[in-house]
């Protein structure tokens, strides 16, 4: 009898864990349905091309919502130069110039913006395989291009300038400029090294099309939580007005107690995970 009970408990626990792992979800309420994909910004379009169901659901949508759709070029390039960067040496400044997109004036970026940019390049260098490194079109950009090509209405959840405002007010919020300079210098040193001791766990997990969510825990990233709360009304309205919507945002916007999935459930939506490559849907209440 005890053996049967333990087996039943194991099955229930396994089902619960498995129901928390998808990066692609169906959300519905009162006959309206939408799909939401948690993206990984550094992966390329090949990830999407290997999972046809994602593009199939996008193509049938009437509207697609992304984090933002406008360029950072105008508002960054209109700034004054960041005089703090004069504390960098010649090689450090050259590294920064090499990794920032050509259309952005790196001398006008904030220290926090540079930290995020360098972190991205570290991830790409040490965590991506050779083929993925040369995939120039990142998955979020490819989804935007796909919308334009297929005449799917595309809207941003926020202006890019607001994204940068969130970042600059919430990332390392209590850190002095001197300390931020030290952080940048250490990250540049790491980027220019051949050190392979980098934690690629989350990216490796994402490659399996799964992510272990924790909907009971609060996120430590205020930057993400604040944006989720700002977005949820627009997402809700889009689903109810357009009936078929597709949302694609960074994976961590879906996770945690105040992630988009939990915010949608609090608004009465049914949330169902989609297992990529098998196209099996499991309902999660």
Residue 160 has pLDDT above 60, yes or no: yes
Residue 164 has pLDDT above 80, yes or no: yes
Q: What is the β-pairing status of strands 244-250 and 32-39?
A: parallel
Helix, strand, coil distribution of the chain in percent, nearest 5: 50, 15, 35
Residue 272 has pLDDT above 50, yes or no: yes
State pLDDT tens for residues 87-139.
999 999 999 999 999 999 999 999 999 999 999 999 989 988 766 555 568 89
More confident residue, 163 or 137: 163
In this structure, are residues 12 and 18 in contact, taking their beta carbons and an 8 Å threshold? no
State pLDDT tens for residues 60-93.
999 999 999 999 999 999 999 999 999 999 999 9
Residue 185 CB partners (closer than 8 Å, separation 6+): 88, 92
Instruction: Return the sign of the alpha-carbon dihedral for residues 273, 214, 187, 180.
Output: positive
Q: Which of 157, 156, 158, 139 is nearest to 55 (CA)?
A: 139
Residue 161 has pLDDT above 90, yes or no: yes
In this structure, are residues 272 and 35 in contact, taking their beta carbons and an 8 Å threshold? no
* Prediction pTM value: 0.86
**If DSSP codes are grouped into helix, strand and coil, which group holds residue 66?**
strand
Residue 165 CB partners (closer than 8 Å, separation 6+): none
DSSP state of 197: -
Maximum separation of any 2 CA atoms in the chain, in Å: 74
**Which pLDDT belongs to residue 205?**
84
Question: Phi and psi at residue 271, in whole multiples of 5°?
Answer: -115, 125
In angstroms, the CA 220 to CA 230 distance is 17
In angstroms, the CA 245 to CA 62 distance is 6
């Amino acid at each position: 009898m005890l053996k049967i009970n333990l087996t039943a408990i194991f099955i229930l626990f396994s089902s619960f864990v498995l129901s928390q792992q998808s990066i692609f979800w169906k959300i519905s309420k009162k006959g309206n349905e939408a799909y939401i994909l948690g993206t990984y910004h550094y992966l390329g379009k090949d990830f999407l091309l290997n999972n046809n169901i994602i593009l199939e659901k996008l193509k049938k949508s009437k509207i697609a919502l992304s984090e933002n759709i406008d360029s950072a070029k105008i508002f960054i390039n209109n700034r004054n130069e960041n005089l703090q960067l004069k504390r960098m040496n010649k090689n450090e400044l050259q590294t920064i110039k090499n990794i920032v997109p050509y259309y952005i004036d790196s001398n006008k970026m904030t220290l926090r913006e540079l930290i995020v940019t360098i972190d991205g390049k570290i991830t790409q260098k040490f965590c991506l395989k050779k083929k993925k490194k040369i995939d120039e079109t990142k998955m979020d950009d490819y989804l935007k291009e796909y919308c334009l090509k297929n005449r799917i209405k595309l809207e941003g959840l926020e202006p890019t300038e607001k994204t940068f405002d969130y970042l600059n007010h919430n990332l390392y919020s209590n850190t002095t400029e001197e300390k931020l300079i030290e952080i940048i210098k250490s990250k540049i040193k790491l980027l220019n090294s051949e050190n392979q001791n980098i934690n690629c766990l989350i990216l490796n997990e994402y490659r399996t099309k799964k992510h272990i969510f924790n909907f009971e825990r609060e996120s430590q990233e205020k930057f993400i939580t604040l944006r989720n709360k700002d977005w949820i009304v627009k997402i809700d309205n889009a689903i109810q007005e357009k009936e078929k919507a597709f949302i694609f945002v960074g994976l961590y916007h879906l996770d945690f107690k105040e992630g988009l999935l939990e915010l949608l459930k609090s608004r009465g939506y049914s949330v169902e995970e989609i297992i990529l490559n098998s196209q099996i849907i499991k309902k999660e209440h």
